[in-house]
């Protein structure tokens, strides 16, 4: 799934990853970043909140953000999120803590849950593509 998203990802896009602790958000983010060409370690941005990746280590400028620690969506603005996003794609973990991105037509929302919660194995991903993703995703 990470490889497919990376192939379709464009500057200005948002990949909003939702799910509880341990659902696999960071794992999917790492798969996307690796598929974009990054060869090094991909730390979880839980404490830094925002981690950036720039060419040539990746195919396009990318911002990986983990908003778990934000207590108010205004904090995302105070961090300069809009500046980081200029000309870059965004992978957002815990997007609701930053006010959400569902309003953005370039948002691909992915809700991840452990299938064990439903009595199965693995993970379940529910993908909701915004208008800009519809043709690319289907």
The CATH code of the domain at 2-133 is 3.40.50.300
What are the tokens at 103? Answer: 């309003």
Compute the distance between CA of residue 49 and CA of residue 33 in angstroms, rounded to an integer.
16
In tens digits, what is the pLDDT along the chain, a chain of 138 residues?
A: 999 999 999 999 999 999 999 899 999 999 999 999 999 989 888 888 999 999 999 999 999 999 999 999 999 999 999 999 999 999 999 999 999 999 999 999 999 998 776 667 788 899 999 999 999 988
Q: Domain ranges in the chain?
A: 2-133
Backbone angles phi, psi at 62, to 5 degrees: -140, 140
Q: What angle do CA 100, 27, 72 make, to 5 degrees?
A: 25
User: How do beta strands 62-66 and 89-93 pair?
Assistant: parallel
């Amino acid at each position: 799934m990470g490889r497919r998203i990376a192939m379709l990802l464009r500057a200005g896009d948002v990949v909003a990853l939702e799910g509880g602790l341990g659902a696999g958000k960071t794992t999917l983010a790492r798969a996307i970043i690796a598929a974009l060409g990054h060869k090094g370690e991909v730390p979880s941005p839980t404490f830094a909140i925002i981690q950036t990746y720039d060419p040539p280590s990746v195919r396009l400028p990318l911002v990986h953000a983990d908003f778990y620690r934000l207590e108010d969506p205004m904090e995302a603005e105070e961090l300069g999120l809009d500046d980081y996003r200029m000309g870059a794609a965004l992978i957002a973990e815990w997007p609701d803590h930053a006010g959400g991105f569902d309003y953005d037509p370039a948002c691909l929302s992915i809700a991840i849950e452990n299938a064990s919660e439903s009595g199965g194995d693995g993970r379940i991903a529910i993908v909701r593509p915004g208008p800009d993703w519809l043709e690319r995703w289907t």
